[in-house]
Amino acid sequence: MTPDNRDASQLSALAGLAPGNAISADKRRRVSVRAGNRYLKRILVQIAWAASRKKDSFQRMRFLRLQTRIGRNKAIVAVARQILIVVYHVLSTSKPYEDRGMDFYDRRNKDKMIARYTKRLAQLGFNVQLTSKDELTQ
């Protein structure tokens, strides 16, 4: 297989940013990052750190969401992998990159988010009655 035919997942494996998989007897073991091109991996991790600090960017939001679940270092590797995949698609399709923004998941799951927050407030002992902005202005 020539490098031109590789898809994004193969490229991330080549860079050493693909997630490792060590399962034995239905137990997942901790594994370090896969071996790959150490220079590419270092550059991408540095780019990911910079992207995680950029305000109102999708990469920052992704980093913050992942950081709470899996930790800072693993979240940075995940963001670095995402950046590599984005670069691959931008170069292969010649389309410009459009940042999804910090509120991407909020816009996508608006109804679920409203239900989750009202349920949580009810659990904390508050009576919640929601009105939209349009109803308040009339």
Q: CA nearest 37: which of 71, 75, 6, 72?
A: 6
- Enter the tokens of residue 97: 């990159």
Q: Is 27 helix (H, G, I), strand (E, B) or coil?
A: strand
Q: Which region holds residue 115: left if phi is over 0, alpha if psi is between -120 and 50, else beta? A: alpha
Q: CA nearest 77: which of 29, 28, 12?
A: 12
Rounded Cα gap, residues 85 and 12, in angstroms: 7
Supply the pLDDT for residue 4. Answer: 43
Supply the pLDDT for residue 5. Answer: 43
Mean pLDDT of the chain: 83
Mean pLDDT, the chain cut into blocks of 10 residues (138 residues total) = 61 79 75 80 93 89 90 91 89 85 77 86 87 72
Cβ count near 20 (within 10 Å): 13
What pLDDT, in 10s, does the model give residues 9-29?
888 887 888 777 777 777 777
